[in-house]
Structure 1
Amino acid sequence: MWKNDANGSVQTGSEYERIGEESRPLLAQGAQARGASFWSSAFNLMNAIMGSGILGLSYAMANTGIIGFSILLLVVSSLAAYSIHLLLLLCGKTGINSYEALGERAFNRPGKILVACTILIQNIGVTVNSTMSTYLFILKSEMPAAITGFMSTETSGKWFEDGVTLLILVTLIVVLPLALLPKIGFLGYTSSLAFIFMLFFTVVVVVKKWSIPCPLPINSTVSLSLNTSECTPQMFVISSKSAYAVPTMAFSFLCHTAVLPIYCELHRPTKQRMQRVANVSIFLSFVVYLISALFGYLTFYTHVESELLLGYDTYLPRDVVVMSVRLAILLAVLFTVPLIHFPARKALLMLCRGEREFSWLFHSLSCFFVLTLVLLLAIFVPDIRNVFGVVGSTTSTCLLFVYPGMFYLRISSEPIRSLNSAGAVFLMVIGLVVGVLSLCVIIVSWVQGP
């Protein structure tokens, strides 16, 4: 018989074993409830994939070359889709549909605790990108400038110039109500808005390529360089800075903490349908990433900033469209926070309560606890990414590469020479390489200083 709980975890009895693996649906929140639509789920997954890290991809292209970047991006997106494929295969084989429960199935209770702690560390805020505290810190730092940029007169001492005040307000007014929603499927509407904002960013990057001349001007009359070779795009680039680009790209498709919660609430949640959701989300994210990175690079070439919008601020000061894009990116980041909050809260509840019936009391308490924690981190610990960067790079690598491969090898009964088992081993090797490279990049950054 099927057994459901409010967190979406599914267990099966002897009746389940008689159901074909390819047609086993996962039920969420009751058999009669209609789940989230295909596109609502796809928008949620795209929102989990794309974040402020999109601003650094042009810099990554400048340090790897157009063809080099395209190959790396294609490889990373394919590996992300394949690791999701392995997770969904395990769901089909076991009837389990939560990351934490897969860890428990593979390594008993220590595995469950390990996965839950990894998700908490990843989503609360000790990694370089795509965490709640990182996004809230970005909002605190950038919102005052984004708002005052539209003011025609000089302002000073206004309440909206205080980043902490603005951060607390948007958290209470926007983030908290969305985070309190019991189902991740409800966030499909805000996720679609976030994707539209990312499309707007991409369109503006394409259009503004023809607004900034090359060689880049220092001011309206003087060029930065008379050497027009700087305006020649590079196809392949290998340098010490290339090592910095690889971790950025490797984690640009990290969405695995949200995959299974989205799977639980998908309407007609079969493995094939969820795989199509993942493929569509990763493909559209790939297209947006590639176009924005390409035209950002073709605008500034070797002078592209590590955060793309800084270049536009330098050469197109107080441009209304650029200021609108900055605000759009902030809104996209704002709508991403509740989505990242969902798996973090679920992991906390799995650690504290296990798989029990839904309770509004514990749901609300865990929601307030997580949001309060990340808000305090964003306000009082601005250097948390430097302090815990090593831990963050490790958790990202584990969630994206290591855990899917390791769990598949542990749970699946397929021989090691089978295609999926070989792919699982390959994922683990890639995870080890990327993890070591990320640690080296962080250590070198510490040694070199700001």
Structure 2
Amino acid sequence: MVQTYHAVPVSAEPNDVDDGRADEHEGSALLGDRASTTGLAASDTHKEGHATLTSSVGNLANTIIGSGMLTFPRALASAGIIPGMLTCVFSGAVGGFGLYLLSACARKAPHRRTSFFAVASLTFPRAAVFFDAAIAIKCFGVSSSYLIIIKSLLPNVVASLYHDLTPPDINPPEWALSGRVWISLLMVVLLPLSFLRRLDSLRHTSYIALFSCAYLVLIVIVCYFRPLKGMVPPGEIHLIKFTPSFISTFPIQVFAFTCAQNLFPIFNELKANSQKRMNIVIGTAIGSATVSYEIIAVFGYLTFGTHVGANIIAMYPSTSLFIAVGQLAIAILVLFSYPLQVHPCRNCLDKVFHFGSTTDKFGHEGVEDEHGAGDMTPLKHTVLTAAVVAGTFSIAYFVDNLEMVLSFVGATGSTTISFILPGLFYWKLTKDDPNRNKLLNTGALALICYGFLILIFCLSYNIYNIVHPTGGTGLA
């Protein structure tokens, strides 16, 4: 478990680990205690959230864990077992530290109305709209890629299931082998999920998606001890051996922990959202993702060695029903991750389109609900959601490969919201505070530098791939 999040000393609070039923006054007191430990002023939080620790962890973990986990065995093959495992833990720790800094900054916005726009308005007000625009573009691109993954994966699943469950002379209907048909049908499920206002409402689909991840973990473990007929024979296995492909696989590990776009909604909705409770959410989500990635990476690499491919699930024979169900599980995981990208995309677009016409300095307009959150009007909510869903569906319907576009979006958007902005926000809010934690302040500056280094490296690598195409994995 990553322990980065406990760098700030906290006092004992017996109610911090209860079932979330702390009363309103108690929750506000907890917020005040936590704000003082970070050197930030306590926020004016009068309303209590409704989300539990379990649902918050589930949604954050589902935001983290995606199709990127399929490439981790290849990452180990590019450097060896020991460096590959260390870089995975390092990437998770750095990502978690960025989340911790964001949760500390969140306490400056009152009434559980924290957002990137709200915090940016307190730190870099003139750039706030550009930050939200970058996040919206990033989430829009990722949600489009999710639909493209589903479009390419489900026809293979159908073919595999027909191969195993039906007589040889029975073939699947033509429509069932069309990815476009599948994403059109699945919009019946995704539309109502995308229109949900609160992230906590997606907790049940997040649980299903995380079960799908657990199934992939089961596949790599079982197939290591009991190889399936038709599997690729293993290549060499190295404890330490760096190869040129490490240049492309390391950024994938870095971006595999991206989830900052949903940190603020989780903070706003969590019951008694003290820093200690937020640390539990962040630590559990990052920790579980790290453990899952490590298991998939190690067992996948030990199974195939240097012969492992960029997509571990594709290394197993699709004629096996056990593997076909695994492919279906991956499709379900990606399917239920889609609404988790639409939610922050819609909220950020709201700030971009209404920049300059908001009713307060935190960029909120419209009615305030019973939890103190500034909500969009029903019409605005409907229009923005429909625009995001229609746009991502149209791209996925007509485009088969977004790799290059997502490489640039990931290199800039993911790096900005995961490393650069958390460091900048925290440093700006605490640099003049005489009671600030100097170690955390220095860590924030280091995170900013790290973010810019990753951004420059990834952009340079993507530009190099344009000039010298290699067919490598995109850095989305």
Q: Does 1:75 align with 2:90?
A: yes
Q: Does 1:352 align with 2:373?
A: no
Q: 1:78 to 1:341 in 2, by over 3 A?
A: same
Q: Does 1:262 align with 2:274?
A: no
Q: 1:211 to 1:444 in 2, by over 3 A?
A: farther
Q: Does 1:59 align with 2:74?
A: yes
Q: Does 1:147 align with 2:162?
A: no
Residue 193 of structure 1 aligns with which residue?
Answer: 208
Q: Does 1:105 align with 2:122?
A: yes
Give the whole-Å Cα distance in 1 for the aligned partners of 2:191 and 2:400. 22
Q: What do the CA deviations read for 1:341-374 (whole angstroms, capped 9, x no partner)?
A: 1111110112223411231111111110001111
Give the whole-Å Cα distance in 1 for the aligned partners of 2:44 and 2:260. 18
Residue 92 of structure 1: how far off its partner (Å): 2.4
Q: What do the CA deviations read for 1:96-131 (whole angstroms, capped 9, x no partner)?
A: 6211211222111x3221111111111111xxxxx1
Q: 1:245 to 1:162 in 2, by over 3 A?
A: same
Give the whole-Å Cα distance in 1 for the aligned partners of 2:459 and 2:97. 24
Residue 212 of structure 1: how far off its partner (Å): 2.9
- The answer as to whether partners of 2:158 and 2:172 remain within 8 angstroms in 1 is no
- The answer as to whether partners of 2:79 and 2:246 remain within 8 angstroms in 1 is yes
Range 144-153 or range 281-290, more displaced: 144-153
Give the whole-Å Cα distance in 1 for the aligned partners of 2:318 and 2:400. 27
Residue 325 of structure 1 aligns with which residue?
Answer: 326
Q: How does 1:19-30 map to 2 (within 5 A)?
A: 19-20=32-33, 21-22=35-36
Give the whole-Å Cα distance in 2 for the aligned partners of 1:98 and 1:49. 19
Q: Does 1:281 align with 2:285?
A: yes
What secondary structure sits across from 1:420 in the alignment?
Answer: helix
- The answer as to whether partners of 1:80 and 1:254 remain within 8 angstroms in 2 is yes
Q: What do the CA deviations read for 1:271-329 (whole angstroms, capped 9, x no partner)?
A: 221121011111111111100111011111000010111211xxx34001000000001
Give the TM-score normalised by the residue count of structure 1: 0.86
Give the whole-Å Cα distance in 1 for the aligned partners of 2:383 and 2:55. 27
Q: 1:224 to 1:36 in 2, by over 3 A?
A: closer
Residue 303 of structure 1 aligns with which residue?
Answer: 307
- The answer as to whether partners of 1:26 and 1:270 remain within 8 angstroms in 2 is no
- The answer as to whether partners of 1:393 and 1:439 remain within 8 angstroms in 2 is yes
The partner residue of 2:131 within 115, 121, 124 is 115
Q: Does 1:392 align with 2:410?
A: yes
Give the whole-Å Cα distance in 2 for the aligned partners of 1:429 and 1:271. 25
What secondary structure sits across from 1:88 in the alignment?
Answer: helix
Residue 408 of structure 1: how far off its partner (Å): 1.7
Residue 414 of structure 1: how far off its partner (Å): 4.2
What secondary structure sits across from 1:103 in the alignment?
Answer: helix
Q: 1:317 to 1:68 in 2, by over 3 A?
A: same
- The answer as to whether partners of 1:99 and 1:260 remain within 8 angstroms in 2 is yes
Residue 436 of structure 1: how far off its partner (Å): 2.1
| Count of equivalent residues | 411
Give the whole-Å Cα distance in 2 for the aligned partners of 1:224 and 1:67. 22
The partner residue of 1:290 within 288, 294, 301 is 294
Unaligned regions of 5+ residues in structure 1, if any? 1-14, 126-130
What secondary structure sits across from 2:119 in the alignment?
Answer: helix
Residue 247 of structure 1 aligns with which residue?
Answer: 251
Give the whole-Å Cα distance in 2 for the aligned partners of 1:307 and 1:410. 41
Give the whole-Å Cα distance in 2 for the aligned partners of 1:324 and 1:64. 31
Amino acid at match of 1:270: S
Give the whole-Å Cα distance in 2 for the aligned partners of 1:136 and 1:22. 44
Residue 444 of structure 1: how far off its partner (Å): 3.3
Residue 388 of structure 1: how far off its partner (Å): 5.3
- The answer as to whether partners of 1:42 and 1:280 remain within 8 angstroms in 2 is yes
Residue 257 of structure 1: how far off its partner (Å): 0.2
Residue 269 of structure 1: how far off its partner (Å): 1.7
Residue 176 of structure 2 aligns with which residue?
Answer: 160
Unaligned regions of 5+ residues in structure 2, if any? 1-27, 355-362, 368-374, 472-476
Residue 26 of structure 1: how far off its partner (Å): 7.3
Give the whole-Å Cα distance in 1 for the aligned partners of 2:123 and 2:32. 22
Residue 206 of structure 1 aligns with which residue?
Answer: 221
Q: What do the CA deviations read for 1:218-242 (whole angstroms, capped 9, x no partner)?
A: x69xx969xxxx44x3112212111
Amino acid at match of 2:116: Y
Give the whole-Å Cα distance in 2 for the aligned partners of 1:441 and 1:62. 20
Give the whole-Å Cα distance in 1 for the aligned partners of 2:315 and 2:44. 47
Residue 462 of structure 2 aligns with which residue?
Answer: 442
Give the whole-Å Cα distance in 1 for the aligned partners of 2:47 and 2:114. 15
Q: 1:26 to 1:143 in 2, by over 3 A?
A: farther
Amino acid at match of 1:402: I
Give the whole-Å Cα distance in 2 for the aligned partners of 1:394 and 1:139. 25
Q: Does 1:135 align with 2:139?
A: no
Q: Does 1:235 align with 2:239?
A: yes
Give the whole-Å Cα distance in 2 for the aligned partners of 1:417 and 1:364. 43
